[in-house]
Structure 1
């Protein structure tokens, strides 16, 4: 960590006319928390040659209570500053792309930005409450630049459409890690599907860099002047992010149909296998339901609140765990199980109706396509166990 006192007089005392401001954008990395990329503000004193990168992406796994706070959505990140050459060399050695965009800030704006960053770097000011989408290492960089520009950046970006949603960007960037991508998609609620303007969409480093390219602000003469004066690729990087999010509907629909068909086949051919498979599905659905409910009611993960997937994978499934084994023995489900299954089917129907309502809503069609065949198969196979068993092959 580079404390304020270690910054040489070049940056701290240089006049605004000597300060050069750049946005440094780092591409995605191999580790899951690096998939979204990273960025920093570089301040360079043209007279002394000193260059320092200010970034807002520092966290500590060993911090007391970090994992508990992470689960609760109450993460604390902090700001840091390191010599620019060291910072860039680290990311280049990690195989990540590095892009420098020199920005057209005038002397007063550059000096104001420098003063704010040095103030923000003080230990009493450096920490902040992290949010994945609205308050992260990139939005802090964006906000610092906007502050220096007198709000001009926000005015320009808020007037433009932002393109992909939080969910689509998350799926796109996590595409290389399918299991984690599916878990994140399952856990995101309707907040992740709301339309974004370009200001909100700039929560990602690459998007912010792209948006800055298109911005022109009034220059000294009043004529529009490009915000990005020059752009230099400092490292190509070996890790590329996908251009588009995957369409999860076909694979999850096929997986749901395959599981439903397997349940039907196993009930007739291998009743014990049916009971095991159905129990595993019900256990997984119940655990997912409990976790989704906890994310909504017990955490600060705003993007997980009011998740309609809880209608498809609910704690009600846990009340059905004994049912496949009763059916295996030719017994009817208990009254409690029948009630739980009826409520689950009604909940799934409500999830379908919510999806069909006009407006953006929650884009959980892939999970609807997965869950519905499974619940319909289970409802059919547990409704009339004696009739099914009569036509089946015993063990």
Structure 2
């Protein structure tokens, strides 16, 4: 799935440079107070806390946007952004951990002007929201972020939806505010589901959007509140405008004191709503089904090749979904009922498909598999009549149903009586 982190895979030289830069930054942050104060040692009354939100990028792992917490010493002018979106392709076992759903991300910090310059250069929007923190809350935030930045505390177990760069920022803000952020956001309904937000933001990479939608299980269709939907940086940016906090005198005031667009977006913006995949996939299924019928009648070899392509893809998808459910921690893929539509049993229908090319009868085993597959499709349809959270896989139902019906008809229509069973 997507990766909200912004850092590309570093080379060894890049990692060395990044390590030196991080060391210098840590030295600057932790250096004892000298003639002038800085973020690390300024009193809380001098610290300004802001939420920085970066718009979506072009690369697939940038499509969900990014964010950071900025601490600014209003006396010295020093400003540092802290973010939770760093990953390393060169980490030992990275690809295997990614496949298992056991990814590790890192916290990082950088001077604000350096960090924001990168996003401005690549055309991504940069927005600063200055937050109403008391002096004590600002100092607590600073102390927590500096603690979190230490190497032994910087790494965390990443999850696409519940532990990512935005949720870690959200949780840090809530912690510093004494837990006032969470109940207010939980009381507000979310606008979309995980599935809808994923499809919306990945729609510019249609092939990846389809793969992700196919792989998401019912977990992705649960209703969300604003706290959960703040797994997206842009949703967190929008929702905190509705939050109020108490100031030092105990009076309620908006959490966001002001909002400033530091750099406008120069890239193609994602759509406001998720695309409806039902009509495109239904049309694709009807076209393929008609093609199967035509080739069955006029070009049997092409019919067998097209049918084999479908069965192999259905089997491979089924194996992948089964692995995601049983052998990984990708909980958003568990319980995926698309297994009823595409499953490993499709491989066993290949011999029957090739026999039907020559109008030969198929075995009882193949007949049973065909009946079982049609029953599975029927069950997948009937599941939508159940109450509660039901996996919204109508596009894939519309894709699978016509094709399975045509293949069942071709393999089970009256065959040559003299042919032996497969």
Aligned pair 1:42/2:70, yes or no? yes
Report the secondary structure of 1:100's partner residue. Answer: strand
Q: Which residue of 2 aligns with 1:69?
A: 97
CA displacement 1:167-223 (0-9 Å, x = unmatched): 000000001010000000000000000000110000000000000111122333443
Aligned pair 1:264/2:286, yes or no? no
Question: Which 4+ runs in 1 deviate beyond 4 A?
Answer: none
Q: Work out the CA distance in 2 between the residues paired with 1:222 and 1:115.
A: 23
Q: Which residue of 2 aligns with 1:210?
A: 238
- Taking the TM superposition and a 5 Å limit, the aligned residue runs for 1:312-327 are 312-327=341-356
Would you say the 8 A contact 1:327–1:385 is kept in 2? no
Q: Which residue of 2 aligns with 1:184?
A: 212
Q: Which residue of 2 aligns with 1:393?
A: none
Q: TM-score, normalised by structure 1?
A: 0.96
Report the secondary structure of 2:260's partner residue. Answer: strand
Of residues 348, 368, 379, the one that matches 2:397 is 368
Of residues 100, 116, 120, the one that matches 1:92 is 120
Report the secondary structure of 2:49's partner residue. Answer: strand
Q: Work out the CA distance in 2 between the residues paired with 1:164 and 1:317.
A: 34
Aligned pair 1:142/2:170, yes or no? yes
1:87 shift after superposition? 0.2
1:387 shift after superposition? 7.0
Q: Which residue of 2 aligns with 1:337?
A: 366
Q: Which residue of 1 aligns with 2:107?
A: 79
Aligned pair 1:108/2:136, yes or no? yes
Aligned pair 1:303/2:325, yes or no? no
Q: Work out the CA distance in 2 between the residues paired with 1:14 and 1:322.
A: 75
Q: TM-score, normalised by structure 2?
A: 0.90
Q: Work out the CA distance in 2 between the residues paired with 1:353 and 1:21.
A: 52
Would you say the 8 A contact 2:132–2:245 is kept in 1? no
Of residues 364, 378, 385, the one that matches 2:407 is 378
Q: Work out the CA distance in 1 between the residues paired with 2:191 and 2:252.
A: 25
1:385 shift after superposition? 5.4
Q: Which residue of 1 aligns with 2:201?
A: 173
Aligned pair 1:250/2:272, yes or no? no
Which 10-residue stretch deviates more, 118-127 or 5-14? Answer: 5-14
Q: Work out the CA distance in 2 between the residues paired with 1:369 and 1:356.
A: 16
- Taking the TM superposition and a 5 Å limit, the aligned residue runs for 1:219-258 are 219-239=247-267, 240-258=269-287
| Unmatched 5+ stretches in structure 1 | 389-395
Aligned pair 1:5/2:14, yes or no? no
Q: Which residue of 2 aligns with 1:392?
A: none
Would you say the 8 A contact 2:361–2:416 is kept in 1? no
